[in-house]
Amino acid sequence: MDALAAIPPIYFGLPEHAIEAYWTSMMEVTNLDFIIYNIPQTTGYALSENLFKRMMAKEQVIGVKNSSMPVMDINMWKLRAGKDNIVFSGPDEQFVGGRVMGADAGIGGTYGVYPELLMEADRCVREDDLEKALQIQLKINDLISELTSFKGNLYDVMKLILAKRGVSVGRARNPLPHVEDDEMDHVEVVRQHIDDAIAEFTK
C-alpha cells in the first residue's frame, strides 16, 4: 500500500479540530502518504480552506480526492496548498471540467465500465482538444443517466456490464439491491450504448 485516503468521520457532526485529529491519528499509525477525501454530499462535511491548509502543512498529506460538486473547489485545492500536491477529480459527470480546473487525474465510480472513454477524454484535455473532450463528457453523462435508471443499484448494473465486457466480478452485496429480472434486457441495451460510444470516440 502506497497511500491512504479517508473521509471525515460521519454520523456525529464534529468540529474541524476533531476531524483534523482523526485524520492525523491515521497518519501516525500507518506512516503512509495521506489523501484527504472530500465528499460532502455523503459525509455532511465540506472541507474548508482553513482545515485544508492545516492538513497540507503535514508532510504526509500529498493531496485531495475531491468529490464536491463545485468544480471551483479543485482550483482552490491546487492553488492554495502551499506545496506541490495531487488533486483527483471525483464526480464522474465533471471529469473534463475537473481536469481543466487543475485536477491531475480522476477517480470515479463508473470509470471501470468504459475506461476507454475516460482515457480518450484525458488525452484530449492534455492535447487541448477541448471540443472533443466535451463531446465525450456529454456522452459519459448520458451513459451515467442510463446506468442510474434501474431499480437495481448502480454498482450491480456496472458489475453485470463488466461481465458482458469479459470481466466477471460477481454481483453487488447487500444492502445494495440487485437488478431485477425484468431489467436484464435493458442492461444489454446500455452495454451496447457503451460499445457504440467507445467505437465513436476512440477510432
How does pLDDT run across 118-158, given as a tens digit for each residue?
999 999 999 999 999 999 999 999 999 999 999 999 999 99
CB 159 within 8 A of CB 170: yes
Strands of the sheet with 33-38, listed across from one edge? 3-6, 33-38, 61-66, 86-89, 105-106
Q: Is the dihedral of CA 46, 51, 53, 57 positive or negative?
A: negative
Residue 203 has pLDDT above 90, yes or no: no
Q: Please state the domain extents for the chain.
A: 1-108, 111-202
Give residue for cell 484530449: 124
Mean pLDDT of the region 6-32: 94
What's the pLDDT score for residue 115?
Answer: 97
Residue 1 has pLDDT above 90, yes or no: no
Where does residue 116 rank: exposed (0-12), middle (13-18), buried (19+ CB within 10 A)? middle
| 1-108 classified as CATH 3.40.50.1100 | no
Give residue for cell 425484468: 182
Phi and psi angles of residue 98, each rounded to the nearest 5 degrees, phi first: -65, -40
By three-state DSSP, how is residue 148 classified?
coil
> Which three cell numbers, joined as nine digits, stand for 150?
434501474
Diameter over CA atoms, the chain? 54
Q: Which residues are catalytic?
A: 37, 65
How does pLDDT run across 44-99, given as a tens digit for each residue?
999 999 999 999 999 999 999 999 998 899 999 998 899 999 999 999 999 999 99
